[in-house]
């Protein structure tokens, strides 16, 4: 696993070192933390401050929509691109020291018979919050038209973008290829876009658009792994059409990252499921998470802000240990939601008034403690930590990272069951005593929210109590 992780990370760092990235910071050694940027302030000054706040917290890239119907305005003249608005956004992102992952989406009503028809109806803008039925979400009749847009966008931005992601959650076909997903149509669109992108920008990775990992009960749509397998059945040579496979391992319902649920598995086990969906010849391709998050809506669904912060810290430590080089959070901010019915309004790391949730502190603490560190090994079994049980949770973690002159061990007990802490369900946090072997006479113990203390070793061990909030044990090494 360590070899795979470092090879994937080396590829990302090589991308970040391309000409044109001057002045922007590289990813930390453990990997690249990115963020979606939904619900940003509309005021340009406040918007720039928001990007800087993400950078200060440890984010190093923004997954940015560069939508087809926005950069090629509908109506005559066709084939006339206008990138001015997106240029301003890209400049703002880059000025904050952040990189751009470009999301190429979605359709265009002038290149789709159905999309054009919808555009002429009162519902052409779609039904919120997901714009279901919107004219601009309908894919083009001819993938070559999408490829032309992709090529023009890549030619325009060049080295300003570190990766091109083609479409988003295409396995939720009821939103795009109505009335249900179409693996063959997406395979054709991906391959057409890939060839056009590589002709325009051969060194930038092409990303198989992030699939929504779990299938949602009582709704159409394949699971992420099922859809990937279906696209390969449609085109057995599909591996030539992308460099990276992206996925979105949201937990529905919003359980902890580690708890195993029948059929779905866990947020963490999704990586193995996604890799297994690739044919053996393509399993070397990196996996990226281009969306994941927990809404802080604990009245009817979602989790508390306290839990969100714990899950952010745990996901970062565990995801990079799994060998995934890119982890992208959803999302920057929240929106006012007086009805309490809009799930989308609650995922943000920042509240609607711009104040940070505890998750921001969790992210910045991880960035500070793990800067320059790489995952080394999993000590969980060696320390006798529990493996956890289906639905009941209880898995213990001890993940060792090595940095410049330091050994860092991330420790926590994922005690949440499948019913704990969601919406109205009560939360019962479990703890466990642990004696961690160390070589130094004294170590620093840092909580996931940044509180620090020194702990002396007794007989080569440090006595700790671990629970749902990770502890980072930082030990100097010669």
- In angstroms, the CA 222 to CA 228 distance is 9
Opening angle at CA 175, ends 88 and 101, nearest 5: 30
- Which pLDDT score, from 0 to 100, does residue 76 have? 78
Residue with tokens 């109505």: 178
- Which pLDDT score, from 0 to 100, does residue 22 have? 31
Collapse the DSSP code of 143 into the 3-class scheme (helix H, G, I; strand E, B; otherwise coil) and give the result.
helix
- Which pLDDT score, from 0 to 100, does residue 94 have? 97
CB atoms within 10 A of CB 451: 12
- Which pLDDT score, from 0 to 100, does residue 131 have? 76
Average pLDDT, integer, range 442-451 = 98
- Which pLDDT score, from 0 to 100, does residue 142 have? 98
Average pLDDT, integer, range 364-387 = 97
Tens-digit pLDDT profile for residues 311-331: 999 999 999 999 999 999 999
Residue with tokens 């309004």: 345
- In angstroms, the CA 472 to CA 367 distance is 12
Please say if the pLDDT value at position 8 is more than 60. Answer: no
Please say if the pLDDT value at position 5 is more than 50. Answer: no
- Which pLDDT score, from 0 to 100, does residue 216 have? 65
**Tokens encoding 97:** 């020291």
Sign of CA dihedral 74, 76, 81, 86: negative
Average pLDDT, integer, range 429-455 = 97
- Which pLDDT score, from 0 to 100, does residue 2 have? 41
Average pLDDT, integer, range 213-233 = 86
Sign of CA dihedral 98, 49, 328, 320: positive
Furthest-apart CA atoms within the chain: distance in Å: 78
Confidence of residue 24 (pLDDT cuts 50, 70, 90): very low
Please say if the pLDDT value at position 18 is more than 70. Answer: no
Tens-digit pLDDT profile for residues 172-211: 988 899 889 999 999 999 999 999 999 999 999 999 999 9
Q: List CB contacts of 110: < 8 A, sequence separation 6 or more.
A: 74, 75, 78, 116
CB 94 within 8 A of CB 102: no
- Which pLDDT score, from 0 to 100, does residue 466 have? 98
Average pLDDT, integer, range 391-407 = 96
Phi-psi region of 200 (alpha: psi -120 to 50; beta: other; left: phi over 0): alpha
- Which pLDDT score, from 0 to 100, does residue 28 have? 67
**Tokens encoding 266:** 């866990």
Residue with tokens 């320059």: 372
- Which pLDDT score, from 0 to 100, does residue 133 have? 80
E strand or H helix at 273, and its extent? helix 270-277
DSSP string covering 346-363: G--SB-TTSPBPHHHHHH
- Which pLDDT score, from 0 to 100, does residue 128 have? 76
CB 396 within 8 A of CB 380: yes
- Which pLDDT score, from 0 to 100, does residue 218 have? 58
- Which pLDDT score, from 0 to 100, does residue 125 have? 81
Please say if the pLDDT value at position 6 is more than 70. Answer: no
Average pLDDT, integer, range 166-173 = 94
Please say if the pLDDT value at position 23 is more than 50. Answer: no
Confidence of residue 12 (pLDDT cuts 50, 70, 90): low
DSSP string covering 408-468: EEEEEEE---TTTTSTTS------EEEEEE-SSSEEEEEETTS-EEEEE-BTTEEEEEE-S
CB 169 within 8 A of CB 129: no
Rounded to a whole number of angstroms, the distance between the first and last alpha carbons of the chain is: 25
Please say if the pLDDT value at position 403 is more than 70. Answer: yes
Average pLDDT, integer, range 35-41 = 97
Please say if the pLDDT value at position 4 is more than 60. Answer: no
Please say if the pLDDT value at position 26 is more than 70. Answer: no
CB 397 within 8 A of CB 432: no
- In angstroms, the CA 44 to CA 92 distance is 9
Percent of the chain with pLDDT over 70: 93
**Tokens encoding 33:** 């933390």
């Amino acid at each position: 696993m360590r070899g795979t992780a470092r090879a994937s990370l080396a590829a990302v760092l090589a991308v970040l070192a391309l000409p044109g990235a001057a002045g922007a910071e590289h990813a930390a050694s453990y990997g690249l933390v990115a963020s979606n940027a939904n619900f940003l302030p509309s005021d340009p000054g406040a918007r720039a401050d928001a990007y800087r706040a993400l950078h200060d917290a440890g984010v190093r890239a923004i997954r940015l929509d560069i939508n087809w119907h926005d950069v090629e305005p509908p109506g005559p003249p066709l084939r006339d691109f206008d990138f001015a608005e997106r240029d301003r956004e890209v400049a703002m992102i880059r000025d904050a020291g952040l990189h751009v992952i470009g999301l190429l989406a979605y359709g265009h009503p002038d290149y789709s018979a159905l999309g054009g028809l919808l555009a002429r109806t009162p519902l052409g803008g779609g039904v919120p919050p997901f714009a279901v039925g919107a004219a601009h979400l309908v894919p083009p009749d001819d993938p070559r038209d999408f490829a032309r847009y992709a090529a023009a966008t890549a030619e325009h931005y060049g080295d300003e973008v570190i990766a091109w992601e083609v479409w988003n959650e295409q396995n939720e076909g009821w939103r795009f290829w109505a009335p249900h997903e179409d693996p063959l149509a997406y395979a054709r669109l991906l391959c057409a876009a890939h060839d056009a992108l590589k002709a325009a920008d051969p060194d930038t990775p092409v990303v198989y658009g992030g699939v929504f990992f779990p299938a949602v009960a009582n709704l159409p749509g394949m699971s992420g792994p099922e859809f990937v397998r279906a696209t390969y059945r449609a085109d057995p040579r599909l591996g030539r059409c992308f460099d990276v496979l992206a996925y979105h391992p949201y937990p529905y319902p919003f359980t902890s990252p580690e708890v195993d649920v029948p059929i779905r598995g866990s947020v963490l086990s999704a990586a193995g499921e996604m890799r297994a969906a690739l044919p053996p010849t393509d399993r070397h391709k990196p996996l990226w998470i281009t969306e994941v998050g927990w809404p802080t809506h604990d009245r009817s669904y979602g989790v508390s802000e306290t839990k969100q912060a714990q899950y952010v810290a745990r996901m970062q430590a565990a995801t990079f240990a799994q060998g995934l080089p890119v982890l992208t959070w959803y999302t920057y901010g929240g929106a006012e939601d007086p009805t309490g019915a809009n799930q989308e309004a609650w995922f943000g790391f920042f509240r609607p008034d711009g104040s940070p949730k505890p998750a921001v502190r969790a992210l910045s603490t991880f960035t500070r403690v793990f800067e320059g560190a790489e995952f080394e090994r999993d000590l969980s079994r060696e320390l006798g930590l529990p493996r956890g049980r289906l639905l009941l949770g209880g898995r213990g973690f001890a993940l060792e990272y090595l940095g410049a002159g330091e050994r860092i061990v991330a420790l926590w007990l994922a005690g949440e069951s499948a019913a704990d802490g969601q919406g109205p369900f009560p939360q019962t946090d479990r703890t466990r005593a642990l004696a961690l072997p160390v070589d130094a006479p004294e170590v620093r113990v840092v909580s996931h929210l940044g509180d620090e203390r020194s702990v002396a070793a007794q007989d080569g061990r440090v006595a700790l109590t671990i629970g749902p909030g990770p502890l980072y044990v930082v030990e100097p090494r010669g």
